[in-house]
Structure 1
Amino acid sequence: MAKSFEDFKLNRQILNAIADAGYTEATPIQEKAISPILAGQDVMGIAQTGTGKTAAYVLPIIMKLKYAQGNDPRALILSPTRELAMQIEENIKTFAKYTDLRTVVLYGGLGPKTQKAQLEQGVDILVATPGRFLDLYLEGNIVTKQLQFLVMDEADKMMDMGFIGSIHRILEVVPRKRQNLLFSATMSELVHKIAGDFLKFPTVVEVAPQATPAETVKQVLYHVPNLKTKLNLLQHLLKNDEEFSRLIIFCKTKNVADNIFGFLTRRYGEEQVKVIHANKGQNTRINSINAFKDGAVRILVATDVAARGLDVTEVSHVINFEVPIIIEDYVHRIGRTGRAFQTGEAITFCNPAEEYYIRKIEKLIRQQIPVEDIPEGVFVEETPYEERQAIAREIDLQKRKENPEFKGAFHEKKNPKPAAKKPEKASAASKRLQAKGNKPSSSVKGGFKGNKRGR
């Protein structure tokens, strides 16, 4: 039976804030992590997104910091993306509402002036992306002497994004005596390495096997031959307004995201659809996410920049319009639905070149994704020549990755010409004849002519 938050040694202010937020039972990761963190242990938590891991470390940190004190941060929470940093800040504000603890969030994409002013007013909990934290630290705006907690959230994403150098620099400038917490959805080699540098004899808390999608998410796979058919299938599914009430459509590239956004706005209008990717300004992204959270927008089209740290309850569906190349991102994408005990559905469209990644994803999540036939009402388009070539090239690359000996359809000559015969060396007898000035007989010459005429 799930534990109630009343079972933990949390003070009344925190319990009241939890009750206000509508939570009664702890999730498995909260049940396993809160007590060892309160006991002062280093913790390594392995749990996919949507399992309540932010609260698992935020609640004990608020409990141990108790109230505002001094000017410098006592807890530093590192996040790979701006979106996740803002999400963590929101969680802290929710659970610390009856305390006077001060939180500042730092991320790039905005001028640092406002962030510097906030730091000057004093801070207890600092939430930051590694790059912006280092910038402001090196300029002398952050003093780390008072740090008691260092948290690394979404450690696997940090490693994917190449933050390992920044993390090592941060470890050099924070006090050695501190409590460390690391949370990750998957345990890659790099996460193992940073955990070794970062944690001292940690308590490992793991909920569900590594990279297993939340049980509350129903998964479906459609084999779709090409882009136009994917659009036809998407249009067909979205006709069901009631079932597809709030959904996120994930794409690999900004270009495809913009094209789908254009396609959907022509059908549903700009009020119902928003798009977020790395080229969109920070304010545009924040406004789009907030409109989606508030329910003003039904469809959010996004690249993987939004796959983590986007905590929106009641997302009915996630549609993977394209299969992610970084296979761990599949787990993070589908973790946007089925959050906090809700149920959801994750639908994936897969063309022949993407089947390679589906096989890898199924290996990672240790389960097969159920396949469904394309519904009858969907028109299956013929694949255009250029797209057919691109898919064949991609499949060739995949085969070569698996087997370096593989030459590929684009490299094999269909009808290799037989090698031309080398002229035979003249025999000793013919050399003697030529020396005497004899010519080949006319009958031979005539024979060739006859053959030519007879062809």
Structure 2
Amino acid sequence: MPFKKLHADIKEVLQNLEITTPTDFQKTSIPVIKSGTSVYCTAPKDEGKTTTLILTTMHKLKCEEVGNIPRALVLVENNDKALDLYQSFLKYTKQTSLRVYVANEKEHIDLLKSEIFEGVDILIATPQLIAKLLMTYGVNLSELKIFNIDDAEFLSQTNAYNAVLSITQSISKCQYVLYSEKRNPNLKRLESYFMEYANVISV
């Protein structure tokens, strides 16, 4: 069972939340993501993609804070989704020392930069905001271990797609995991960039 091979702190959280049975998607995807390979994860709505993203990110970071710069990045379509995902993360991480931070587009960029500088393990934001932070030296991605994109269909938007490409150009080595309901042509095109040799999981 995928849940049984996750970090002990995660298993405790799942037990407290009374989550005992993985979905078919989670049974298939969690072991592959844990292996460290880059993955396209495609599954219908309500198959537990976002929960999988949270659990595998926590596992990758061993449920503990380390250093000051982000080791996990999660990109989402818009600010509302970033705020929602932040709340979802907190439900699972509040018993750990992991520091989850959402870069809120409604805040001034200088405030975001100073708060990120104080220390972040998991950073959630839109691609456009991360690209802006990189351009202004507001975030350091040199220690990134896992790069997630939730509901990645939004990369059909040119601005978001180009922002993702510019972000990945500044990353030397990282695991990439893209979650979507379908692997549309834009997502397939990423094989020419940072998703080369990526596994494909489809449920």
What SS does the corresponding residue of 2:148 show, helix, strand or coil? Answer: strand
Whole-Å separation in 2 of the counterparts to 1:195 and 1:26? 29
Whole-Å separation in 2 of the counterparts to 1:100 and 1:130? 26
Deviation at 1:160, TM superposition (A): 3.4
- Aligned position for 1:246: none
- The 1:23/1:196 distance shift into structure 2, 3 A limit, reads farther
Q: Structure 1, residues 273-310: CA drift from partner, whole Å, max 9, x if none?
A: xxxxxxxxxxxxxxxxxxxxxxxxxxxxxxxxxxxxxx
Deviation at 1:169, TM superposition (A): 0.7
Q: Structure 1, residues 218-264: CA drift from partner, whole Å, max 9, x if none?
A: xxxxxxxxxxxxxxxxxxxxxxxxxxxxxxxxxxxxxxxxxxxxxxx
Q: Is the 8 A contact 1:77 1:127 kept in 2?
A: yes
Amino acid at match of 1:71: N
Q: Is the 8 A contact 1:77 1:151 kept in 2?
A: yes
Deviation at 1:167, TM superposition (A): 1.2
Matched, 1:74 2:71: yes
Whole-Å separation in 1 of the counterparts to 2:202 and 2:101? 29
Q: TM-score, normalised by structure 2?
A: 0.91
Amino acid at match of 1:5: F
- Aligned position for 2:3: 5
- The 1:132/1:107 distance shift into structure 2, 3 A limit, reads farther
Deviation at 1:158, TM superposition (A): 2.4
Q: Is the 8 A contact 2:2 2:26 kept in 1?
A: no
Q: Structure 1, residues 430-450: CA drift from partner, whole Å, max 9, x if none?
A: xxxxxxxxxxxxxxxxxxxxx
What SS does the corresponding residue of 2:58 show, helix, strand or coil? Answer: helix
What SS does the corresponding residue of 1:198 show, helix, strand or coil? Answer: coil
Deviation at 1:4, TM superposition (A): 6.8
Match of 1:104 among 94, 101, 111: 101
Deviation at 1:181, TM superposition (A): 0.7
Q: TM-score, normalised by structure 1?
A: 0.42
Whole-Å separation in 1 of the counterparts to 2:199 and 2:2? 22
Matched, 1:50 2:27: no
Q: Is the 8 A contact 1:74 1:149 kept in 2?
A: yes
- Aligned position for 1:168: 165
Deviation at 1:154, TM superposition (A): 1.7
Structure 2 alignment gaps of length 5 or more = none
Structure 1 alignment gaps of length 5 or more = 208-455
**What is the Cα-based RMSD across aligned positions, in Å?**
1.8
Whole-Å separation in 2 of the counterparts to 1:128 and 1:108? 8
Whole-Å separation in 1 of the counterparts to 2:86 and 2:190? 24
Match of 2:151 among 154, 177, 194: 154
Whole-Å separation in 1 of the counterparts to 2:103 and 2:45? 22
Deviation at 1:34, TM superposition (A): 0.8
Deviation at 1:133, TM superposition (A): 0.9
- Aligned position for 1:20: 16
- The 1:195/1:19 distance shift into structure 2, 3 A limit, reads farther
Whole-Å separation in 2 of the counterparts to 1:11 and 1:190? 34
Alignment of 1:74-93 (within 5 A): 74-93=71-90
Identical positions, percent:
26
Whole-Å separation in 1 of the counterparts to 2:95 and 2:143? 23
